[in-house]
Chain A
Amino acid sequence: MDMECDLLVIGGGMAGLVAGTLAAEAGLSTILLRKGQSATAYSSGAIDIIGYLPDASEPFSTPEEGLAAIAGLYPLHPYSIIGYVDGIKPEDVVDEIVGRTRDTITWLKEKLKDTIAPLSGDFKSNIFPITILGTTKPTCLVQKTMYSEDLQTREDSVLLFTGFSGNADFNPSVAAKTYLEDRIAIGEPPRKVGHCTLRVSPFGKPYNVSSVEIARHLDHERSIEDLATQLKPQVEQLGATHVAVPPVLGIKTAMDNKKKLEDQIGAEVFEMLGFPPSVPGLRLQLALEEMYRTNGGKMLVGHEATSYIKTEGRITKVSAKAPRREMNIEAKAFILSTGKYIGGGLSGDENGIRETVFGLMTVTDAYHSAGEIIPSRYTNRIAISPEGHPINSCGLTLDPHFRPINEDGVEWASNLYSAGAVLAGYDYSIEKSGLGVAAVSGFSAAKHAIDFIKEVA
């Protein structure tokens, strides 16, 4: 059965859910189509804003510093688009970008406050949480369960890395070694670390214990107490002030579990950043969906946008396909937030890179057409380097209203906006800017879409 709404959001990751929430909050009837989950659901639980400039080796100590550098050097970066405001003075551009980013972050923190993924950290500075590899990375916000107050500043801190038997997602002894070597090299605390392996067997077997199983198990009553009992002697033996656990402290009760553990063992507990399928990613996805629904947004899960009708420069309808049904959705404006290659917003083969829903123009990192490029030629020989791979900066390019533009440099449709990883001009893996760009561009696209809808109405 066909549907109607003010705003149709296509894509249900960070960008789409932020945009949808903002629209719903503004009183617009909003529908969000989601064909599957996206890169947001895999994320480590950290909200990066900007960690590095491409190919740079020093991290930014504050997001503000990073945004200013981006605005100066990368005028078509999604962050920089924010600065294109009619009549703005050149000296105000950075303030505009910083201001919008700060607003988004403040808003997001507030919105997630009472969900299962509340955030810690603030816009003032980048933080350097520990990853399961034993490395650290710059980010801006982490989920509260992942935050450590003073591990890396307190002179006498002693850190215990804790893993779980039969859970290959994290190896505490290797992380401990790697992390300690790094701390010794830079001469900062903690100066002593240890590691231990605990046993949690949700299904009675000490092998093939997945992270999500542990998290779900810890959501059950009493299980966190059992864990504390195992952990306490290890903490005492080492004299640990802090305990690093892989990100498994629970899905619904992670915050409570952190507190309970800390109370019982007398040391600060935090989750490290981990690899997908990650529990914090799951928490974040669920929390964002809850945020969207609570604000009145409607989700159509399991529906893929397959075609559209465009008349007089405007999209009027999008067809959505479920496994065995199809329908049309009419809307006044549309936001495309379908992600990159993982999310499926972009696809590529030896003939070029395509946007998958509307067939919009795609561009490379240098803003040349990506419609006919050979992907391998937009990669570096070195697999993992601060240069990243240009192919990961391909995507859509925008007008100042966050509308994708066509070959003529003007908006492709007057009522189509776009946000998130489908955008060109940034490589989130090397910049450490993924969820930040997603949230801020989602926020910005929604603001423009809301204005448009209100004007039309």
Chain B
Amino acid sequence: MGVKYKIAILSFLFLLAVAGLVLFFYSHSAVMLNPQGFVSLHERNLMIIAVLLMSLVVLPVFILTFVIAWKYREGNSKAKYNPGLVRLPIYEVLWWSFPFAIVAALGVITWISTHALNPYKPLQMQSAAPSITVQAVALDWKWLFIYPQQGIASLNFLEFPVNTQVAFKITSDAPMNSLWIPQLGGQLYGMPGMSTQLHLIAQRPGNYMGMSSNFSGEGFAGMQFTAKAVSSSEFTSWVNTIKNSSSTVLNVAEYEALAKPSQNNPISYYSSVVPNLYNWIVMKYMTPVSSSSTSAGTGTATSTSTST
């Protein structure tokens, strides 16, 4: 009998070792363990702290379970058999209070980190240059990124300067989606008729994987985009190239054509965007009139605040 259990335990340890090796091997490609942004770095560290804290309870549980089960196995006549042992108040107090203490510690960490990493809060970084704003609109099934300060827009491609805060406003003109660039930080949902906010900073230039993480229908798998962090001079020249190109102007008619369901759209750019398009996209769900309202088309729509 004994040999069998030893084999079982050994093979289990072997499995754990394999899992550990795999984790080690994949840690370079696991984007989240390899953060490139201010937010994702903090989120990664938070993960490590939480796991370490929890292992204070989990490891003893793990070891105790198997050691005690083995020690008090039926065949082991040397072990004490004491069927009357059904209460040990001190011990019970211990295992109510010990996990509670850990959860209390985690709770404090949670309270502080949740406020620090609140995606709505602009990031405070010493090296941070002025921020840029990107209005992200999830469509069936593509991402439209409007740069209101630059007056341009891009489809399924996001470029922004490194070490600069990117302040996202996110909505959807389709089912719910969630904007996620794992290597830079957490995600936030885009929902029709609502505008949410997310602040990210890339600390190193590079091409980062971006996507929608919330299933939104048939073309969902194609809602991936590249988020490219570049130097600010490169960013300026990218903006200028698009502005000076003869690419399409994004007005309401063009937008409504774009918003129709389509899959795996190639990257494209808009050299100019009518003002307040984003607000119009959010607000059109607020009125009983259907989407044929033309106020935004003329660019005269008052900028109703929807960004609370």
A, B in one complex: no
Interface set of A (CB-CB < 8 Å, partner B): none
Interface set of B (CB-CB < 8 Å, partner A): none
